[in-house]
Amino acid sequence: MFKISPDETLKIIQELYEKKLVTYPRTDARVLSTAVAKEIHKNIGGLRNLSEFKPFAEEILQSGSYKNIAKTRYVNDKQITDHYAIIPTGQGFSALKSLNPTAAKVYQVIVRRFLSIFYPAAVYQKINLTAQTPTGVNKEGQKYLENFNAGFKVLVEPGYLKVAQSYKKQKEEAENSDENINVDINIIERLKKLKKNDKLCVADWSIKEGETTPPKRYNSGSLILAMENAGQLIEDEELRAQIKGSGIGTSATRAEILKKLVNNQYICLNRKTQVIMPSQLGEMIHDVVGLSIRPLLNPELTASWEKGLTYVAEGTITGEEYMQKLDDFVRRRVYAVLSLNNQSVLRTYFEQISENYKK
């Protein structure tokens, strides 16, 4: 959103926490506890002291929507290990002036996301239109009919969007809102009058050409999400369930993992766009591991280790049994690598990789 690295984001959140603007930052949770839900009106009430958020905070308090928050999906004690989700404290506003512009924007995002949960869902009206037109005649004199489909949606009730959207976006939409609303209403009213087999006049034809595009490169933010949701790549349902909610690393370590990969020159990070690309060294290491200890590249290995730790916690196996299996895995893999004779294969891989990095 702001083109900042996960490591910098953590530092900003830590600064906000130390200035008493937000709650404890090093958490994996995305929900609140029932205890916090009972006192949540205090956080909301405090935000009335910020002119930008005063109307939203007052509306929430007046409507009483916060009173039933404990019964929603935003509150779940079972999904909290140590700390609940990051939310604004409703205090510490004297420190806002000392924040740099980026930190101030991050704080605003946290506040908007927090206030959004007390608003209803946005409501859209979806319109689908299928039209047929003759495109030719066959030998029997029958017309060829071609189907043309059109669809769009119109925002009926903004719900949480009126607080979740950024000020800049709200301003831009406000400038064009009258025109957009009128056009949408006119279209909807005319479409309501249409019936099956009605004939429409074709005003114009145009052909839009396009090409399929490859997936976008990872940036620091999307790679963090990929690490968090690494379990989605696992086919085995039991193992996938085991790694669900944990993934690769934790919320406190994923940023540091990326930072280490960059510092070791295994990946290249564009500081301006936060786009991540592999380095030549990183590709070489990937191929070495893939041709020697391939399970290390598969999240299923992490899931199986997590499964073993769960068994230890449940008392199904002892800690000594778990460590013995882990030690056995390491020994077998190390001996297998020592007996490999794949230098020529690796050299071929390296030569192919180097072709992509010639200056």
pLDDT of the residue at 7:
84
pLDDT of the residue at 126:
81
DSSP annotation of 236: -
pLDDT of the residue at 359:
67
Fold exhibited by the domain 6-116: Topoisomerase I; domain 4 (1.10.290)
pLDDT of the residue at 168:
45
Torsion of CA 42, 78, 113, 220, to 10 degrees: 140
**Any idea which residue has 């991540």 for tokens?**
276
The values of phi and psi at residue 292, to 5°, are -125, -55
DSSP bridge pairs for 278: 267
Q: How far apart are CA 178 and CA 159, in angstroms?
A: 19
Domain 220-357, CATH 1.10.460.10 — does that match?
A: yes
Count CB atoms within 10 A of the CB of residue 125.
Answer: 12
Long-range pairs for 200-204: beta carbons < 8 A, 24 or more residues apart: 200/131, 202/133
Q: What is the pLDDT of residues 2-61, one digit of tens each?
A: 888 888 888 999 999 999 999 999 888 889 999 999 999 999 999 999 999 999 999 999
pLDDT of the residue at 237:
77
Torsion of CA 94, 98, 101, 105, to 10 degrees: -30
Angle between the N-to-C axes of helices 343-354 and 280-290, in degrees from 0 to 180, rounded to the nearest 10: 150
**Residue 288: burial class (beta carbons within 10 Å; 0-12, 13-18, 19+):** middle
Residues 6+ apart with CB under 8 A from 148: 130, 131, 132, 133
**Residue 281: burial class (beta carbons within 10 Å; 0-12, 13-18, 19+):** middle
Terminal Cα-to-Cα distance of the chain (whole angstroms): 32
**Any idea which residue has 């690295």 for tokens?**
5
For residue 88, give the amino acid letter: P
Structural domain spans, the chain: 6-116, 123-157+166-192, 220-357
pLDDT of the residue at 178:
44
CA within 13 Å, CB half, 88: 30
Q: How far apart are CA 103 and CA 205, in angstroms?
A: 49
Q: What is the pLDDT of residues 63-94, one digit of tens each?
A: 999 999 999 999 999 888 789 999 999 999 99
For residue 167, give the amino acid letter: Y
pLDDT of the residue at 245:
60
pTM of the predicted model as reported, rounded to 2 decimal places:
0.71
Are 147 and 130 in contact, with CB atoms under 8 Å apart? yes
| Residue ranges of the chain whose pLDDT lies below 70 | 166-185, 233, 239, 242-246, 359
How many residues are there in the chain?
359
Residues 6+ apart with CB under 8 A from 10: 25, 26, 252, 255
